[in-house]
Amino acid sequence: MEAPRLAHTMSSPTSPCEEVIKNLSLEAIQLCDRDGNKSQDSGIAEMEELPVPHNIKISNITCDSFKISWEMDSKSKDRITHYFIDLNKKENKNSNKFKHKDVPTKLVAKAVPLPMTVRGHWFLSPRTEYTVAVQTASKQLDGDYVVSEWSEIIEFCTADYSKVHLTQLLEKAEVIAGRMLKLSVFYRNQHKEYFDYIREHHGNAMQPSVKDNSGSHGSPISGKLEGIFFSCNTEFNTGKPPQDSPYGRYRYEIAAEKLFNPNTNLYFGDFYCMYTAYHYVILVIAPVGSPGDEFCKQRLPQLNIKDNKFLTCDEEDGVMVYHHAQDVILEVIYTDPVDLSLGTVAEITGHQLMSLSTANAKKDPSCKTCNISVGR
């Protein structure tokens, strides 16, 4: 049986959980620094007899929850009524050191059997480093607490989005995908030097590279999946790829069936925006049985290539026909090398719109369209 969840929290001023804060009971929240210094009006007194938690263990870590346990000396153990848990994002050298002293980061829980589950209340962010320390406490008749010294500080990192969370993102993306338009090619824009380098150093084959950190912070493909980015959106009036690009004036075009066919699997990877009105959907195309396919199978929701809201291929009269969603910008990652000889490279006539680049782009955490209820 899962241990009871922790009872009370306070969020930072920048947390999205203002409504939750309004409903919190502040009776059990006290201001207390980890070094044992209390604010003057906190009403907390020290009692050295209370055991100090040690050998803290963090387990069952997800993108928005974890279990915590520790050991305690038996001395005065029966006096413990509550646990104080101080949880903070780990600061780095470039972080803003300012911290509101009147906002507690402590969570107060009744003394329940360990391990104890911390979930949701802290609005934990995925793939984020945290520090945690613990005190034991005894609530007095007058409502004040006596507390132990703080434990040692433990560091841990939350996990990526699970398939469950990605499915929630997928369902949100499906709502705005719009009607399907025909396409015939995938294309990749780069500078001339990129294609010259591929010809000279990689035997004419574009090589997969590790995806950057653009998109949702919890996406399991960021910094891990290797692939080659392609686009497939078309202009509504021409049915052809747009002439503008943020990534370079040279474009590689390849017939859609060379990359996407019944011998490939299709996966949903992410849904995000960058403080703009338009939204991006990342899809992954992986040849069946390839390393990329095995990676995605474990982590991403798989889509039916003939029937989904974003990108489809189906046979009509013996010919493969392709469609893409009109109202989202699709970013397609192909997980195997692609030989340039399978397509063509030519200079585009449009502009290089750098403002449209998604390289390491940060997702808008306040957008109601593309965020889910777990941490950003």
Q: How far is the C-alpha of 348 from the C-alpha of 333, rounded, in Å?
A: 22
pLDDT of res. 333: 97
For 21-67, how does the pLDDT look when each residue is reduced to its tens digit (9 = 90+)?
333 332 333 334 444 444 333 444 444 489 999 999 999 999 888 99
**Residue 337: which pLDDT band, with cuts at 50, 70 and 90?**
very high
Say how many C-beta atoms besides its own lie within 10 A of residue 333's C-beta.
23
More confident call, 29 vs 222:
222
Helix (H, G, I), strand (E, B) or coil at 355: helix
Please indicate, yes or no, whether the overall pTM of this predicted structure exceeds 0.75.
yes
CB 115 within 8 Å of CB 69: yes
For 124-156, how does the pLDDT look when each residue is reduced to its tens digit (9 = 90+)?
888 889 999 999 999 988 888 899 999 999 999
For 274-312, how does the pLDDT look when each residue is reduced to its tens digit (9 = 90+)?
888 889 999 999 999 999 999 999 999 999 999 999 999
Residues 6+ apart with CB under 8 A from 224: 210, 211, 295
Q: How far is the C-alpha of 120 from the C-alpha of 374, rounded, in Å?
A: 7
For 71-117, how does the pLDDT look when each residue is reduced to its tens digit (9 = 90+)?
998 877 888 899 999 888 887 544 444 443 434 467 888 888 899 98
pLDDT of res. 179: 92
Say how many C-beta atoms besides its own lie within 10 A of residue 255's C-beta.
15
Q: How far is the C-alpha of 131 from the C-alpha of 91, rounded, in Å?
A: 9
DSSP 241-297: --S-BSS-SEEEEEEHHHHSSTTEEEEEEEEE-SSSSS-EEEEEEEETTSHHHHHHH
pLDDT over 60 at 239, yes or no = yes
Q: How far is the C-alpha of 158 from the C-alpha of 61, rounded, in Å?
A: 6
Question: Which of 242, 263, 238 has its CA nearest to residue 251?
Answer: 242
pLDDT over 70 at 253, yes or no = yes
Residues 6+ apart with CB under 8 A from 255: 184, 185, 342, 343
Q: Tell me how far apart the terminal alpha carbons of the chain are, to the nearest angstrom.
A: 28
More confident call, 218 vs 41:
218
Question: Which of 329, 17, 13 has its CA nearest to residue 181?
Answer: 329
pLDDT of res. 353: 56
Q: Which helix (H) or strand (E) holds 5?
A: none
More confident call, 271 vs 354:
271
CB 242 within 8 Å of CB 233: yes
Q: From 1.10.3720.10, 2.60.40.10, 1.20.58.340, 3.40.50.1820, which CATH number describes the 54-158 domain?
A: 2.60.40.10
Say how many C-beta atoms besides its own lie within 10 A of residue 126's C-beta.
22
For 4-24, how does the pLDDT look when each residue is reduced to its tens digit (9 = 90+)?
344 333 333 333 333 333 333
pLDDT of res. 351: 59
Question: Which of 228, 237, 246, 322 has its CA nearest to residue 282?
Answer: 228
Annotated domain spans of the chain: 54-158, 163-347
pLDDT above 90 coverage of the chain, percent: 52
**Torsions phi, psi for 164 (to 5 deg):** -60, -45
pLDDT of res. 284: 98
